[in-house]
Amino acid sequence: MAEIKLMIDGGKATAAPPLGPALAPLGLNVGKIVQEINEATKHYAGMKVPVVLDVDKSKKYTITVGSPPTSALIRKEAGADKGAGNPKTEVKGNLTFEQVKKIAEMKMGKLNSYTLPSACREIIGSCNSMGITIDGKHAKQAQLDFKDGKYVAQLK
């Protein structure tokens, strides 16, 4: 069984490298697979998405679409083109706590957290290293507010 792992732009897969050359030796219909990948990833437009293609000996295949990196989700929600070069002094965007919660729920199975509150804290930590503020406050301050229980009501 062949396993092909790729990072694809959401909804914009093409038969060009890296996908086409990886599929051609397997004797698969590249156009059909590209179309299926684009359909499966269209709601991640503008983000890189991990895609795994498993092909067995009878040329049957399954496409598994992963979750985009946390930083890509944060950038999309904050409307930032990239993270800050110096997150201590640069601010690249702002998220509301509701947006933090939404990202945490999307990434729940992929994070090191077992509960939504701890997943939210992980997302806030990522925001800290990207220069993204939470409700207009530096992410470190948002972590302290979270620890003091400020966001507890919003987690229900």
Q: What does the pLDDT look like over 47-58, one tens digit per residue?
A: 889 999 999 988
Give the C-alpha separation, 25 to 8, whole Å.
Answer: 20
Q: How confident is the model at residue 155 (pLDDT cuts 50, 70, 90)?
A: confident
pLDDT mean over 13-25: 86
Q: Please give the backbone phi and psi of residue 85, each rounded to the nearest 5 degrees, phi first.
A: -70, -40
Give the C-alpha separation, 74 to 93, whole Å.
Answer: 9
CATH 1.20.1070.10 for the 70-155 domain, yes or no? no
Q: How confident is the model at residue 46 (pLDDT cuts 50, 70, 90)?
A: confident
Reported as a single tens digit per residue, the pLDDT across 99-147 is 999 999 999 988 999 999 999 999 999 999 999 999 999 999 999 999 9
Residue 24 has pLDDT above 90, yes or no: no
DSSP characters over the chain:
-EEEEEEEEBT---SSTTHHHHHGGGT--HHHHHHHHHHHHGGGBTSEEEEEEEE-TTS-EEEEE-PPPHHHHHHHHHT-SS--SSTTT---EEE-HHHHHHHHHHHGGGSS-SSHHHHHHHHHHHHHHHTEEETTB-HHHHHHHHHTTTTGGGG-
What CATH number labels 2-65? Answer: 3.30.1550.10
User: Where do the structural domains in the chain lie, given as residue ranges?
Assistant: 2-65, 70-155
Residue 45 has pLDDT above 90, yes or no: no
Domains 2-65 and 70-155 share a fold: no
Give the long-range contacts of residues 23-32, CB within 8 A, separation 24 or more.
23/53, 26/2, 26/55, 26/59, 27/59, 28/55, 28/59, 28/61
- Dig out the tokens for 79 from the structure: 């409307």
Reported as a single tens digit per residue, the pLDDT across 60-103 is 999 999 989 999 999 999 999 999 999 989 999 999 999 999 99
* Nearest by Cα to 69 from 96, 87, 84, 50: 50
